[in-house]
Amino acid sequence: MVINSNYMNKLTTDLKSLHEATLNNLKSSKANNTLRAYKSDFKDFGAFCAKHGLNSLPSEPKIVSLYLTHLSKNSKISTLRRRLVSISMFHKLKGHYLDTKHPIIIENLMGIRRVKGSIQIGKKPILINHLKSIINVINEQKIEEIKKARDKTIILIGFGGGFRRTELISIDHEDLEFVPEGLKISIRRSKTDQYGEGMIKGLPYFTNPNYCPVANLKNWLQISKIKSGPIFRRFSKGSYLSENRLTDQSVVLLMKEYLKLAGIENKNFAGHSLRSGFATVAAESGADERSIMAMTGHKSTQMVRRYIREANIFKNNALNKIKI
């Protein structure tokens, strides 16, 4: 049987096209921040391989296992797992296969976990006392009212909605719907929403308007006169509100600045602290894991259950039964 060369060329071209489309689909399935994290993690892996004369792409399980052992000296188990996912995904994005379930990787991780333990001391959550201290200290600042209004709203909406930083700064005026019960916020895309289905978060009114996310947002929109586009924007010179969206890093710096001004050590807090604070306080207040997940958008119960365990550490504590 003679195969026409034009047919073979077309077949090869079609396969290349399918290959490129598949790689583009893989990239599109991940949020931009996730892709940046993969690249950052893989860059560190690449530097390790270059230093020791090893192949980083494509790599092999033995090399990855050596890298994980190297990392384990100064990193948590959660960091090792994240790096492993990043290395695997980077291989996929470049059209390579890496067996991350190989025994030399899995058993090495099990050994590292036994030696190091898996209890993680993470960053602190923003709890109610922290939240009130931040809002109170913002009110005390000798700055323009428009800046106070923006900063209070960022903190309260971030906490009240259990938002990731990227979700928070991505909110547009078009995503808001005020209803008699409070506020609906449409999230068009988030880290765990890989299919772009979106979700709607509902924030009810608080009894105390000073700490109410909805009341403060209404005040901010009225003062700023924002009618469309990003609701959280940068200030340029003086108190002039620009059209530019606030960055996620700005949220962290802003929060840490006010924690410091409130006399609270800020090094143990991070951008995730507003989100973890919501989950922790909700758990302390008796909210079940399903309702917490409905607000935070967590797809796995693992992290939410951790918040609940930590929140309930003094509830039903056996030591409470001992009378001395």
Amino acid at 246: L
Can you say how many angstroms the Cα of residue 120 is from the centroid of all Cα atoms in its chain?
17
Nearest to 279 by CA among 129, 152, 126, 135: 126
How far is residue 55 from each of residues 23, 35, 60, 224, measured CA to CA in Å? 22, 21, 8, 54
SS3 assignment, position 98? coil
Nearest to 278 by CA among 290, 265, 287, 266: 287
Kindly report the backbone phi and psi dihedral angles of residue 199, in degrees, each rounded to the nearest multiple of 5, phi listed first: -155, 165
Q: How far apart are CA 136 and CA 5, in angstroms?
A: 76
Nearest to 241 by CA among 149, 163, 152, 176: 149
SS3 assignment, position 95? coil
Q: How far apart are CA 32 and CA 28, in angstroms?
A: 9
Q: Which two tokens stand for residue 17?
A: 């096209």
Can you say how many angstroms the Cα of residue 109 is from the centroid of all Cα atoms in its chain?
24
Q: How far apart are CA 126 and CA 266, in angstroms?
A: 11
For 49, half-sphere exposure in the C-beta direction (CA atoms, 13 angstrom radius) is 19
The residues annotated as belonging to the active site are 164, 191, 272, 275, 298, 307
How many C-beta atoms surround the C-beta of residue 292 within 10 A? 22
